Every structure is written in structure tokens, then in C-alpha cells.
A and B are shown apart, each in its own frame.
Chain A
Amino acid sequence: MTAPTETQQLMSVRAGVLPGALEKAKAARDRRTYLLLLLPAILGLFATFLLPLGYMVKMSFDRGAPDGVIESAFTLDSYVRALSDPYYWQVIWNTFQMGIIVGVLCVLVSYPIALFLVRTRSRFRGLLMAVAVAPLLTSAIVRTYGWMVILGSNGLVNSSLHSMGLIDAPLKLTNNMTGVEIGLVEIFMPYAILTMVSGFGRLSSQLEEAAGSLGANGFQVFARITLPLSLPGVLASFLMVFVLTISTFVTPTLLGGGTVQVLATEIYDQTTGVLNWPFAAALSVILLALFGAIIAVYQRLTRKIGG
């Protein structure tokens, strides 16, 4: 019972002194297996994502004519136009700003919920989790319409504020950026919560208990243990919401009342209204660059946190 068994000793010996060559051969074999297993996914990704993406990038260098004709070419016209016009810089800035604001607000309101879901020992935990993500079962369009009703000048918010005597004239909560941001925060909350719940892996009640036993009060436990350990989840969640926000087009269109100009709505207009697809493609590539920039920042930050 107390002495290590023969097998255990053998195992520790083998783990310690396995010759490097053998290890390398095994690693190579493993890599081949992984590659083989990944192949269907890679092919699928290639056909459904990379190929269309490549086509889009190629199209962004084509020459677009206002009548919808696309002339195969290699020209930077679309990029020059997008990047030399202050209007599009404004649109890019609007997009970025909207992503940051919605991302921050969404993470702020989702954080307590995610923390609760991770920590609760209630037997209804599964049910609560389902309730938190249930909004995903209805489409973003339906929920956006819901917000239009709630936020409208005769909507729930304005009429209750008015009946409480807090406002005289209805607040302008729809057909502007405010409405879009309110709607997006709610719409992306399930994503934020899900991402955080799965990103809170390093949190454990034992760590908080350990901090408590070492003399930390509730606030110190949160500030020194819970918050730092949940940061990777928070960052991933922010990234998720940011990316979803800057690429969403439905809610800005529906709740923005035509006054919210972001890259996604601009791309939509260029594609379906103006029929200048190369220009739309160039704007899409710019949007992708925005993604890339934020992902690079994200990776920097996670490396710093995960250290």
C-alpha cells in the first residue's frame, strides 16, 4: 500500500529517460495523424470560407462600373477611393467605435451573469444556462423588431419614463446609434455569456477560498483573484462581441433608421443598391483588416495575461 508499485516505478523511469529520437518519431507520427484527422475540416474550410474569401479579395481589385458591370482588372481604384474619402474614414471610425462601445457594455452586463452561472451550485443551473442563451433561439431580426417597439417614441421605455414624470418629450432611442447600441448589447449578450462561461476555466471556488483563508475580504478576493482569472474569458468575450458587432448589418439597418453608417451597411448598400461590387469587396477587405488588427491586439493582451 505504501511502497510504489513496480508498474509505477517503471512508468516514472520510462517517462524520464525516453530517448530523444524515439520521442521525435512518435511526435512525427502524431502530427501525421492529426493532419489526417484535420483534413476534412481543412477542405471544408477551404471550400466554404477561404475560396469565397479569395474570390472577394480578387474582386476588390477589379474595376467596378456604376451600372453593375465588373471589369476584370488589377486596380487599386476601390481602395484609393475608400481610403482617400474622409467619409469612409468616418464610416470606419463609426464601425470601430460601435464595436468598442457595444463590446464593453455587453461584457459589463454579461459578466455578473456569467460569473453567477459558473459559480452557482443550484440544481437549476442547467435551466438557468438555457435561459441565458435562449434568446439565440429567436433571430436577431425578431429581437431587433422587439427593441424597435420597446425603444420607440411611444415604446415601453419612453412611456414608462413619461408616466413617472422623468421626461417631458420622448427620448430619441431609435433611428440612431444609441438604439443600435442598446439593441446590439442585448442581442450579443448570449454570445458574451457563453464565451465567458467557457473562458472562466481557471476560476475555481478553491482559489477564492484559499484567498479568503489567507485573509482577503470579499472585495479583495474579487479584485485579486476572481477578476484577474476571469480576464481571459472577458477578453475573448469582448473580442467575440466586437467582431460580431462590426460585421452585423441587420440591427444597424433596422434600428439605425438610415442614420447609422457603418462598414456593414455601406457594403450592403454598395452590393444591393449601387451594384458596385468591387468597391463593396474593397470595403469588406478593410473590415477584415479591422478584424485582423483587433485580433492582433487581443493576442498581445492574452499573452500578457496568460504570461
Chain B
Amino acid sequence: MTVLPQLAPLRKVNPVNSANTVGSSKLSIVDLTKRYAPGLEPAVDRLCMDVEEGHLVALLGPSGCGKTTTLRMVAGLMDPTAGSIVVDGKDITQTPVNKRGMGMVFQSYALFPHMDVAQNVAFGLQMRKVPSGEQAKRVNAALEMVKLAHLSKRKVRELSGGQQQRIALARALVVEPTLLLLDEPLSNLDAKLRETMRSEIRSIQQRTKATTLFVTHDQDEALDMADRIAVMNGGLIEQYDTPAMVYERPTTRFVADFIGQANFLTAQVLSENGQAADGERYYKVEVGGLGRYSAVGAPGLAGSSREIVIRPHRLRASLHPRPGDDAIAGTIERVSYTGDTIAFAVRVGDRRLLAQSMTSSADMPRTGDAAYLSWEAADAFLLPGHIRGSGT
């Protein structure tokens, strides 16, 4: 993984096209396509992706983006229309679900209501004909792992949502699956519990070193838990990278928009203005009607039209511009106070920009104030993709 992901082609991220990549990955998905009916738009479109051993990869995207369909095809619960799924170098595309040896946690947990906790966890071991003495040991170990060994004789319906979640996890992990598949596992929990479970699932995953595919629509979950995030949209992977890169260096406007909040400014890239870190370049850019500013981006963007992404917390709103900084003058439309941060909606011409700062600042504008928005050049990122509809 030395290739800078944001420079990868849009449609096919990390294509698995040579034998050496198959050998080094735990899971390789090659050109996987699902079309529910002939003539319909594919739900998953020629998707390619490698997952390294021990990694937790989040499939992130809005509903209908194809992330659950992808997961179900990997699990063997759904047949792909085309493409293949390779695990440990073996093509398992035609292998039935019960022979794949994966562990899956469903959104509804899918615990068997007619069995108690221990019976649920033991189910996979029974199917594998594990001797009963060993079964009991492993069930107990799995329950210890999720800290619920004391509930082993409970009925499923007597458990809370969080407990059911853990049992589902224990049931999936007890069989030492080749892959752990989690389908929106936290979406049925309340907000507080969700955060606890996040770190717990992550720590169990790291302890067991289970290679994990995790479907979620919640960007915070993905950023928090994943080693890699595949941002999906319309059956395609828009970007497949580390959480930091997905956040800081989105490859498309969709990714930037979906992960956190973002301000977009359309700019004409005028000229290179020196080397930046990681092989990037500084540029002089002209933002229509506002003036000339600095931004950062991949090499070779001079002379083109690009979108600048600035995260709100990288935009500083102040009553007085700092000398020497790039700054845009605007009017504060709304101030919202959320405790640890304060957010500003700033009217700049016909644009509306969002800025966010810590609440300690003394130089704090109020609604109706004329204010300045400023940023550092390294925080204004030029999206590598062309602006949709523009020729260059």
C-alpha cells in the first residue's frame, strides 16, 4: 500500500489483476457485479477490492449504495451476477454459504430465539461436529471474551440490545471464521451504547486478528473503527483508503461531502507555488468573484478548474483578519453553540460557508457581524477529479 490512493483511477480502486496481489490478501473481490434483474442498474458494479489479513474494512455509504449487497455476496447469501470472490487464494464464488466458514453478525443480530445464550454460541461448533467438551470450553471462552459468561443460560429475549449484540459477535467468532462479516451491527443500539460497543468490537477484532468486513452508513463508526474505508456510491467504490486519507484527502466531491462536513469552492488553478508534503504542490488559485488564494493538491493541476474542499474546523471565523493570511470577508448569519465547539454559518456573496472553532476564543463574532474567514493553504485541498460538466 504505497500507492497514494487519492491518485488512483476513480472506477477501479486497487484492481486485483495480478497473481501476486491475490497471494498477499486475505480477501480479494474481483469485478463483483450484482444485477437484481436484467435491464436494472446494477446494485454492485464491477467492484474490486483487497482486504489484508487482520484488517477491519468498513463498507461505508448511503442506503442503496450496494454495501450490504456486497457483504451478502461475500457471505454467500446472494449469488453474484458476475465476478469472483477469493479468500486465502481460493475462489469461493460458487461455495455455498454453509461451507464458507465465515462468521456473520446481522443487523437484527439474528439470535435463535428458541435457544439460550450458550446454545446460540455453540450452534456453529455443533455444525462443525466439535466434540462437546471442547464445545463447552470454546463457548465459555467466547462468552468470556464478550464479558457475558454469566448469562450463558439466559433466554435470548431476556437480553438487552447490547447484550444480544455481544452474543451475536461471540457466536460468529467462536467458530474462528476465515472472515468476520458485520452488517450494520450497531444501528439498533442507542447512541451511548453504540460508542461503547464500537471500541469493544474493535478491541475484540484486534485481539482475535479476525479479518473483518463491516457494513455501515455511519461515517463516525467507519472513521473510528476501520483500518480501511471503502466509500461506496451507486454500486461503485468512490475511494478505498485509510480513515485519515478518506477524511483529509477525499478523491471525489461525494466522498468529501459524505464524510463529515465540507465547504466547496470552485476555483481556477493559476500556477504552482512550491512543494508541499507527501509530493503534493501548493497552487495559486482564483476563486470566482472572491479573489486569489492558496491551496494544495496533486501535481499537474495548474491551468485547470478544480473544486477546493475546506473542512469547517479548518476555517477560522474572526472579527479581524490576521495580517498575511488569506481571508474572505462575509457576514455571520447564524451562530450555533454546541458546548465544546461553536459553529458559524457565514454568508459570502451568494455562498454560504460553514466554520467551526473551539469556544475559548476571545475574538468571537456574533450574528450579524461582518467577519473574516481565513485558512491555511495546506487545509484547502484541490479535489483531483474534474468538476462534473466542466471541459478541463
CB of B171 closer than 8 Å to a CB of A: yes
Q: Which of A107-115, A145-153, A183-191, A199-207 contacts B (4 or more CB under 8 A)?
A: A199-207
Sample of 16 A–B contacts (CB below 8 Å): A4-B192, A8-B190, A202-B114, A207-B110, A213-B75, A213-B76, A213-B102, A213-B181, A214-B98, A214-B123, A214-B172, A215-B127, A217-B96, A224-B123, A229-B112, A307-B114
Q: Name, among A209, A212, A215, the residue most crowded by chain B CB atoms within 10 Å (CB to CB).
A: A215
Within the complex, what minimum Cβ distance (angstroms) separates A175 from chain B? 45
Say whether B191 contacts A3, CB under 8 Å. yes
Is B195 an interface position by the 8 A CB rule?
A: yes
Q: How far is the CB of A62 from chain B (nearest CB, A)?
A: 50
Whether A4 contacts B112 by the Cβ 8 Å rule is no
The chain B residue sitting closest to A215, CB to CB, is B127
* B59 interface residue per 8 A CB criterion: no
**Looking across the interface, which residue of chain A has its beta carbon closest to that of B198?**
A2
Which residues of chain B are within 8 angstroms of A161 by Cβ–Cβ distance?
A: none
A295 at the interface (CB under 8 A from B): no
* A68 on interface, CB distance cutoff 8 Å: no
Q: Which chain B residues have a beta carbon within 8 Å of chain A's beta carbons?
A: 75-77, 96-104, 106, 108, 110-114, 123-124, 127-128, 155, 171-172, 175, 181, 190-192, 195, 220
Ranked nearest first, the 4 interchain pairs of A and B with the lowest CB-CB distance are A215-B127, A214-B124, A210-B110, A4-B191
Residues in chain B near residue A202, CB distance under 8 A: 113-114
A12 at the interface (CB under 8 A from B): yes
List the A residue with the shortest CB-CB distance to B191.
A4
Tell me the smallest distance from the CB of B274 to a CB of chain A, in Å: 37
What residue of chain A has the Cβ atom nearest to residue B106's Cβ? A206
Binary CB contact string for chain A from 1 to 19 against chain B (1 if under 8 A, 0 otherwise): 1111100110010000000
Interface membership of A133, Cβ < 8 A: no
Residues in B neighbouring A225, C-beta threshold 8 A = 112
Contacts from A to B (Cβ < 8 Å): 1-5, 8-9, 12, 202, 204, 206-207, 209-217, 220, 224-225, 228-229, 305, 307
- Contact indicator B106/A209 (Cβ below 8 Å): yes
In the bound complex, do residue B127 and residue A213 qualify as a contact, i.e. CB atoms below 8 Å apart? no
A179, B191: Cα distance in complex, Å = 63
Name the CB-closest residue of A to B340: A3
Query: Is the pair A209, B113 in contact by a Cβ cutoff of 8 Å?
Result: no
**CB–CB A4/B190 < 8 A:** yes
Considering the chains assembled together, what is the distance between the CA atoms of A305 and B155 in angstroms?
A: 12
- In Å, the complex CA distance between A206 and B127 comes to 18
| Contact count A vs B, C-beta below 8 Å | 84
CB-based contact B155/A307 at 8 Å:
yes
Note all chain B residues with C-beta closer than 8 A to A220.
127
B40 vs chain A, min Cβ distance (A): 15
Given A2-B195, A213-B103, A213-B104, decide whether A305 and B123 contact each other with a Cβ distance below 8 A.
no
Q: Is the CB of B103 within 8 A of A8?
A: no
B108 near A206 (CB under 8 angstroms)?
yes
Contacts of A204 in B (CB 8 A): 108, 110
Query: In the complex the two chains form, is B114's CB within 8 Å of A213's CB?
Result: no
- CB pair A2 B114 closer than 8 Å: no
Q: Which residues of A contact B75 (CB under 8 A)?
A: 209, 213
Asked if A229 contacts B97 (CB within 8 A), the reply is no
A136, chain B: closest CB distance, angstroms: 31
Asked if A305 contacts B114 (CB within 8 A), the reply is yes
Contacts of A206 in B (CB 8 A): 106, 108, 110
Docked-complex contact B113 and A215, CB < 8 angstroms: no
**Given contacts A210-B104, A211-B123, are A217 and B98 in contact (CB under 8 A)?**
yes
Report the minimal beta-carbon distance from A84 to chain B, rounded to whole angstroms: 46
In the complex, how many angstroms separate the beta carbon of B65 from the nearest chain A beta carbon?
19
| A217 (CB) vs chain B CBs: closest residue | B98
B187–chain A nearest beta-carbon distance, Å: 14
| Bound CA–CA A224/B124 (angstroms) | 12
In the complex, chain B residues whose CB is within 8 Å of the CB of A307: 114, 155
A209:B190 contact, CB within 8 angstroms? no
Q: Which residues of A contact B98 (CB under 8 A)?
A: 212-217
Smallest beta-carbon distance A282→chain B, Å: 42
> A1-B220, A2-B195, A220-B127 are contacts. A213–B77 as well, Cβ < 8 Å?
yes
Contacts of A12 in B (CB 8 A): 190, 192
Residues in B with CB closer than 8 Å to A224 are 123
With A204-B110, A207-B110, A229-B113 in contact, is A214–B190 under 8 Å at CB? no
Alpha-carbon separation in the docked complex, A247 to B69 (Å): 51
Would B127 and A210 count as touching, CB distance under 8 A? Answer: no
Taken together as a complex, chains A and B put the C-alpha atoms of A12 and B194 apart, in Å, by 14
